[in-house]
Structure 1
Amino acid sequence: MALQWHMKPILLILICILNDAATLVISVDNAKISAHPDKWRIGQLIFLSIVLGALLTALSFATFFVARDVFHVTNDQLEAIMYLHISSAPHFVIFSTRLSGHFWENMPSPIFFIAIMGTQVFAMLISVYGVIVGEAIGWIWGICIIAISLVYFVFLDFVKVFIFKRWNFEFTAHAWPTKARKEKLAARKIRTVQQERVWKSIDRVRQLGLKVKVLEAMSVK
């Protein structure tokens, strides 16, 4: 709005349709099931959403300014470039957000993969050949935008895993300390110390048992 630039409504509708068509097949995905019951961490999800959204927004602005000010594309080409970028960059992130770990730890089902990639191939073709979007951008722009979206998706995947690893109760207790969190954190520390003592005692008993068995074996000989 500040730059007085807009995209055709038909392209926005097309993005929504393609995204919904691909999202529907999540039901047939083979994402790995957690071994233990999952606990909803609303703060973690909101923070992760803000970070991923901000990074995707930064990429969108970078794509816009580079195409307009560096390569000096026409307005119709810029519209097609931004359409393909908005269609692909956030779309590929679904391969990452379907898991808490890295995307390669559990590959998507064939139907899910074909649906996601099929929508993006369609978006690239209409942008490359100028169908619906107005003016063709050519294969070089089309391949470059898809490639950048794929590389950026891998980068966002590492960001996601980093946040998941760092975000735990200890982090939230120190970042937003409340009386209840302080008490719970202190109780956890006490419980951890007690568990360590128990395991040390168990290890000593095991070692003692092994020594007794060795002595019995030597006495038999």
Structure 2
Amino acid sequence: MELSKRLNMIASFVTDGCCAADIGTDHGYIPIYLVQQGISPRAFAMDINKGPLERAKQHIEEMGLQDRIVCLLSDGLNQLPEKDVDSVIIAGMGGDLIVKILDQDQDKLKEVRELIVSPQSHPERVRRWLHDHNFRILEEDMIQEEGKYYIAIRAVHGRESYEKECFYCFGKQLIMDCSPVLLEYLDKEYRKYEKIRKTLQNGTKEHIRKRREEVEQRLDDIKEALGYYEM
């Protein structure tokens, strides 16, 4: 099976030999790919909704992998067979939902070797959750596909914290590695927020003043991240 750039980025973070569980699996493409490529000996395709899980099951059976990929109806990590899983993948959803899923069943992660997350919004909240719950970030990647930017984060158990807000917003590893995709994203974000700032600069109402402060903070974080590209 050939994956999209986004799904391939996520799958590439799974360590060889690890049994993986894909939370919110939708079509089951990642578990199928991991087993087909010999990366994972077995995998679990998990989803809260019956429809997507049935689609995943159908695709798995079409590939003849029903003996190696188990489909589980599960609200987040609720049904995770933690003693049989090394890698947990949570992708294709916003950062707030990822944090909610992790919060609901964080005890399920005690035996897990690695956690791979790909938030489509608010990545800073996911990075903070990882640090607040004794995970350290080993790897990050960022791609652009069909006009959208996607990130993937691989974390393992351990203590870590970032000293700068821009590292939480945009990813310390991506910044320190001077990721060209991140640079492109930062340039676009700066232009976008600079336009917003100009529309707010003469407003005196409380909600406008508050929004202006948020926008100026975002611009400061972007400028700080861009500073690493000039070193």
Give me the TM-score of the superposition, normalised by structure 1: 0.23
Whose radius of gyration is greater, 1 or 2?
A: 1
Indicate the structure with greater helix content. 1
Pick 1 or 2: higher relative contact order, CA cutoff 8 A, min separation 6. Answer: 1
